[in-house]
Structures are given as C-alpha cells and as structure tokens.
Structure 1
C-alpha cells in the first residue's frame, strides 16, 4: 500500500499578482543599481536566469498561480529548475556576454513557498550537473538554493512598512476532526469556553451553544495556524502580538464595568480588534485581520480575559 503524500494535503500559498516584479523590488532595495543586472523574458532575456548581482548570485523567479497543493507546486518547481539550468548550457555564449566576467557561485530560484527537504535535495543534485558542464561563468563551488521573499527579511519588512507589499498568508485549513478533537486535547480551554457560552444562553435562550462552540473553536485553531505562518515574518508576528497585549489589557479593565449583553460584547470585541490590527499591523489585509480577530476572541473567551457582566 502506497503511503499518503503529506504534500498533497497542504494548500499552496497565494503568489500575488506580480511576483517577479515584487522580488526584484526587494533585490533593488538590497543592492545599489551598479551591482544588479535584470534581463527578464520580456527583454529577450529568457536564458535560464532573469538577472544577477555582481557578488556572484544568479536569480530566477517562479510563481505558478494554478497550484492548489504544495505537491503540485513542488513538482513544478523541480521541473522549472531542470528547464532553466539546461538553458544555462544552451545559451552559454549569450550569458558570457551578459555576465561580463562575473562568475556565479550561487543560483537562487525565488518562489512564494517550497517544501524544504525535497526541493533542496533536488537543487543540490541539479547544481552538481551544472558544475559538470564546465561553463566558464559557473564556479567550482556553484550551488542552487530555493528562496522566498521572506529570506530577504529586512527588505521584505521595509516593503510591508511602506505599503509596497502585503503580508501573504495561506488560507487556514482547519478540519472538522481537529474541531471535534479540541475538547480532548485542550480540556481546560474547552470547558471554560462552554461555561461562557452556557452563561450567554442564560440571557439568550434561543442561542445554539453547539454552533457557537464549534465556530469559536475553529476560529481559534485557524488563528493559531496563521500565527504559525507568521513565524517566517517575525516583525509582523511581533506587531500582532503587541496589539494583542494592548487589547487584552483593556479587556481586563473593561470587565469591571462592561455591562452589555454578552452577544453584543463578543461581536464588538471582534469588530474592534480587527480594526485595530488592520490599522496598526503594516501589510495585514482585511480578511486576515478579521480571521485573527475572530480566533483571538475565541481564545480570550477560553482563557478568561473576556468576561460577561450582562444587562439584566
């Protein structure tokens, strides 16, 4: 029996509208103009790389937009490496003229997302093949590596801060099984949430506690998945955490006098925190701010900073 492919179940992250232009904007932030050369396919530059920096790094961007899973994206990235490195040999004379004496030690395939072990292993094998060709512009230590925009952390964060870029997060993928298993895996959080919802039902007898429990649990798990995704963008993750701490301090203060109906308080917290995140975390899009806010509100209900003091 063939083992299940773990990459088949991982959604591919969105690539953005013009990935290549964005990547080169990051490189232009990193290098002074005289140290960077760019010759994309639109300039008849389809010769295996889109450009290079004079410190010996060749660059090629690749962002397929139709991959639904990381498996599909991984297979395409590996095939892309084979096609484009073959062009280095095919276009040897033209590349020698373009490189003008620069010898490449590195070749970066810059992609929105990759599966590290598989693509890195493939890159290492492909670099060995390229070295074997003895091309005059390829060094003896030539290496190929996949990279993402987040690898250029300083330039990436600067682009976010000046609104030249948005934070790209994969849409959360929380399974019904994960929601069902939550009570067993986090019993204290699940019990506290249920107690809060039962208290709400006391003021709103028609409220469906089970629907609310499942929704808040799913939102919390989605938020956790998104925060894990933000580990690759540490400044943005810390910005979200800073806003969470500020809002949580205010929640604890408001508990003493927030005499509003429970459902009104929950909805207001969700709306206010989403607005706060979007206003104060550079590059965070509206949909992600709303998802983070819903999930964080669920966590506040589970961990007690959000209490009810309902109007009779």
Structure 2
C-alpha cells in the first residue's frame, strides 16, 4: 500500500478510485472506461471524446523516492510504447479523434524528474511520423496525482465507503513553547480557566500546567488540520465551521444556567459537538482520528477565545 495525504492505495484500489474520479470529472466530455478484454492492455485505462487518454499506476508497496521514480518512469515508457504497438486497435475505439494528452495517473509524485521524463516522451512521440495518424500535433504527456482530483474526493470516498483522513503531525514541544512565547496573553487566559478544572486537586498546579500544554498542542494540530481541509476539502470545512459556530453560539448562555462542575460541563460540550457532527453525517464521512482532532481544536479554540469559561467554585 502507498500512503498519501488523503488515503492509501494499492494497484487495484487506485485504479478503482481513478475510474470514479474520471467518470465524475469528464462525464460531459464523453469519458469511456477501457475495460480489460481478451486482447490485453492497450496502454490506456480510458479516454474522452475530446482527445484525452489516461493510464493509472500504483505500486503495491511503499518505496523510497528514487525507486518509486524509477518504477513510475519505466511504466510511462512501457505504456507509451503500447500506443505505437496498438495504434490500429486504439483507432477502432477512439475513432477519428486524435490524442491531445496522455495523462499518467499515480497517487503521489516524489521526484520532479518524472515530469521531465514525461516532457521528453511527449517530444519524442509528437515528432514520430508513424504516430501522426493517432496523435495530435500538440500531443503532450502529463503526470497527475490525487491532488488534481480534490473536488472528486468526497464523492469517491462516499461511493467506496471510505472516510476522509488528514495526516498532520503532532506538534513538538518546541512548537508548543514557541506558541506560548508568542501568545502570552492567551496563555494567561488558559491558565486562569484551566486552573478552575483542578480546584481542590492535590496536584492542581502541575495538572494545570500539563493540561495547558495539551490544549495548546490540540489547538496547533487542529488548526493545521483545518488548513489542510481548507486547501483540499473546502466544502467539508464549510460544513464543519457551520456546526462549530452553532454550538459556540449557545455556550455562554448554557454556562450561565448550568449547575455542572467545570470538568463535567467541558465534557458535555465536547459530547454535544460530537453528536452534532454525527447528526450531519460526519461520522460516516471522516475518520475517528480526524473527528477527535476537530473536536479538540474546538475546545482549545473556545478556551483561548473566551466563549468557554467556568464560574469560580462551580
């Protein structure tokens, strides 16, 4: 399996995802899947009636950058060779439309030399007189990874019943310290609020210090997660923000009326947010880890920005 920012794939699952990407993206251009047949692979997985053909490739295991590049490069070379070998057969399927673009779809690109290789092959085939019957004068060879299909990602994951995940590193101690140095006022707010969670605790000061660091860690990681969603799943982020804002609107009112102890009230608010996400079907759309990151980001954000506070002695 190859792990990417959004998912993980082997050869079969990548090809399945690609077909859904392409059918969704290029429906209006008459996309046709080239289903495997008895005469074997013709070097393309599908094509549009506008002159774009596609070939999918994903190795079944992780490789370091150099090895992955070599496998991808050789696959490009081999499958482009099939255009020449199967020229007459391909024309039977694509008709009079000449191929303008041959796009190599692979989950992740780790070496820019693959782009250079594709450019070299484009020039080679474009200047091959024997290929004029099949290829357009402006024939090009491109490589695209899953990032080219972020708008189709939610659709595909729903079809395959996969959940969206975001791979964001846990902030280091140095990042937490740097945040505290830059946000001194926010740190004071956190200490004041969180100390109320540990009133009467024999280790109140130590627990407060530790929990402040946890909240800052959750805030940094959560905001990095939201940045990833903003870049790659903007519609999903918009829905998350709407749910979060709806919960936030009522926090201060509920604080005035509650008889719950601070820890219990904090737990109730998190549970309420989780229930709201699940009611909007997020439980079926996002992974457990992503859901937890989103909930913890909200708690941290509310504590820093003041909507979530606790009465003295509550």
The residue that corresponds to 1:187 in the other structure is 184
How far residue 116 of structure 1 moved from its aligned partner, in angstroms, is 9.8
SS in structure 2 at match of 1:296:
helix
Q: In the TM superposition, what is the alpha-carbon distance from 1:177 to its structure 2 partner? A: 1.9
Are the equivalent residues in 2 in contact too, given 1:278–1:289 (CA < 8 A)?
no
Over aligned residue pairs, what C-alpha RMSD do you find? 3.4
CA contact (8 A) 1:82 1:126 kept: no
Question: Residue 199 of structure 2: SS of its match in structure 1?
Answer: helix
What's 1:7 paired with?
none
Deviates more, 1:230-239 or 1:80-89: 80-89
Q: Normalized against structure 2, the TM-score is what?
A: 0.78
Structure 2: which 5+ residue stretches go unaligned?
Answer: none
Q: Hey, what does 2:297 align to over in structure 1?
A: 295
**Greater gyration radius:** 2
The answer as to whether partners of 2:169 and 2:221 remain within 8 angstroms in 1 is yes
Question: 1:1-312 counterparts in 2 under 5 A?
Answer: 12-13=4-5, 14-16=7-9, 18-32=13-27, 35-39=30-34, 45-64=40-59, 66-67=61-62, 72=64, 76=68, 79-100=71-92, 101=95, 102-114=97-109, 120=115, 123-134=118-129, 135-136=131-132, 137-149=134-146, 151-152=148-149, 155-159=152-156, 164-207=161-204, 208-230=207-229, 231-280=231-280, 281=282, 283-309=285-311, 312=314
- Greater alpha carbon shift after TM alignment, 37-46 vs 216-225: 37-46
Q: Any unmatched runs of 5+ in structure 1?
A: 1-10
The alignment partner of 2:47 has SS state of strand
Q: Cα 1:53–1:63, aligned 2, differ >3 Å: closer, same or farther?
A: same
How many angstroms apart in 2 are the aligned matches of 1:63 and 1:260? 53
Secondary structure in structure 2 of the residue aligned to 1:202: coil
Distance 1:180 1:46, change over 3 A: farther
Alpha-carbon contact 1:278-1:286 (below 8 Å) kept: no
TM-score of the superposed pair, with normalisation by structure 1: 0.79
> Aligned equivalents of 1:174 and 1:133: distance in 2?
53
Q: Secondary structure at the match of 2:256?
A: coil
How far has the Cα of 1:306 moved from its partner?
0.8
* Cα shift readout 1:174-202 (whole Å, capped 9, x = no counterpart): 22321221112333322222221223222
2:34 and 2:24 map into 1 onto residues whose CA distance is: 17
Question: C-alpha distance in 2, partners of 1:93/1:256?
Answer: 76
Verify the 8 A CA contact 1:197 1:209 in the aligned structure 2: yes
